Amino acid sequence: MAPSRWMRPEVYPLLACLTFVTGMCVFQLTRNLLINPEVRINKANRAMAVLENADEGEKYAEHSLRKFVRQRPPQIMPTINEFFIKKD
């Protein structure tokens, strides 16, 4: 008697993609919940109509990934682009 499978092998790539996307969503939701200056969890911050937190907002908006990407050229594959742009 062959062992029964509850999931077909063709489903594995789809499962991997969905797991990756779910992980990205959980990461973003957690980041917003814990770091975003617009989210107010404690009672003292919720009571204030306007928060004076420009420094926190700047720190949240200018994260390390954005600083890294800003220094990179705006091309996805610069080597291939240079190859096709070359005019001899």
Out of 2-16, 45-59, 65-79, which region has the weakest mean confidence (pLDDT)?
A: 45-59
Please tell me whether the overall predicted TM-score, pTM, comes out greater than 0.85 for this model: no
Q: Which residue has the higher pLDDT, 85 or 88?
A: 85
Tokens 């990179």 map to which residue? Answer: 72
DSSP secondary structure code for residue 3 in this structure: P
| Model confidence band, residue 1 (pLDDT cutoffs 50, 70, 90) | low
Q: What's the pLDDT score for residue 17?
A: 96
Please give the angle made by the CA atoms of 78, 61 and 29, to the nearest 5 degrees.
Answer: 100
- What does the pLDDT look like over 35-53, one tens digit per residue? 887 777 777 767 776 667 7
